[in-house]
A = this chain, B = another copy of it.
């Protein structure tokens, strides 16, 4: 089970943090940027190369104290296909250093199209007689608005290739309640989505009791975080919003189970 590997690392390093890699060119130090601008001009190619160099330096600093990285796909797409090359290289480099990689892509679609996303980020594509991993992350964040048709193709790859997914349940942003908190009968939409996660993962439960289907639950809503932790016994949580978005250490305590795991 993919999340067993993640939890093994968390226990070994005594650290449940995931390092987000959401690189904007403006975060990259000038001495790195100017080198690539000199080589390739002020182009997407130069920007993407500078960002890779920056990511590499971050990974070198943290790989032995942080178990996982979470590159946010949007920041790589923003630099076009050169940016996507940097995403691929960043994932490969982090895995080489032994890190667990969660691509934050919030992908969603149905049937054959969802299979294509699954292949892109977690699987391998056939080209002639070759099987090639396009991006090759360990886990992917996804959006479940389309229902089971959007999740089934992922479950197959999770099982076959030892991968995991995190489904958006209760997101960290201010307006997440507009839809997610609204009641469907007696329970809010986020609970309905959470229960679907439990259900989707029910046949793929690992040695720590967590399935290959996790949930994204924001640190900014500590009450819902505790409520969901109590209800979703087999669902690993990815908890964004700690720090800059206002989530604090007390607030996220509820994300963990009685063994200090689960998030």
> Which residues of A are at the interface with B, using a C-beta cutoff of 8 A?
22, 24-25, 37, 42-44, 46-47, 72, 74-75, 77-85, 87-88, 106-114, 116-117, 119-121, 125-130, 132, 134-135, 143-150, 168, 171-180, 182-185, 189, 192-193, 196
Contact call B147/A43, Cβ cutoff below 8 A:
no
Chain B contacts for A43, CB-based, 8 A:
127, 130, 132
A-B contact pairs, 12 of them (CB 8 A): A42-B129, A44-B127, A74-B120, A78-B116, A78-B119, A80-B84, A84-B84, A145-B145, A146-B168, A146-B171, A149-B176, A178-B196
Contacts of A143 in B (CB 8 A): 106, 108, 143, 145
Say how far A24's CB is from chain B's closest CB, in angstroms: 8
Contact B116 A80 (CB under 8 A): no
CA of A184 to CA of B190, assembled, Å: 12
Choice from B72, B80, B172, B174 contacting A88 with Cβ under 8 Å: B80
Q: Is the CB of B134 within 8 A of A77?
A: yes
In the complex, A144 Cα to B42 Cα: how many Å? 34
A183 to chain B, nearest CB (A): 7
| Chain B residue contacts of A134, Cβ below 8 A | 44, 77-80, 83
Q: Give Cα A85–Cα B79 distance, bound, in whole angstroms.
A: 11
Residues in B whose Cβ lies below 8 Å from that of A109? 72, 74, 106
> Which residue of B113, B121, B145 contacts A75 across the interface (Cβ within 8 Å)?
B113
Contacts of A119 in B (CB 8 A): 78
The listed residue with most B CB atoms (<10 A of its CB), out of A113, A144, A180, A189, is A113
Least CB separation from A113: chain B residue: B74
Contact call B189/A120, Cβ cutoff below 8 A: no
Write the nearest CB–CB distance from A148 to chain B, whole angstroms: 4
Output the nearest chain B residue to A26 by Cβ-Cβ distance. Answer: B126
Other contacts beyond A78-B116, A81-B82: 17, CB < 8 A = A22-B116, A42-B128, A43-B127, A44-B127, A72-B109, A74-B107, A74-B114, A79-B125, A83-B134, A108-B108, A144-B179, A145-B171, A147-B178, A149-B173, A179-B193, A179-B196, A184-B189
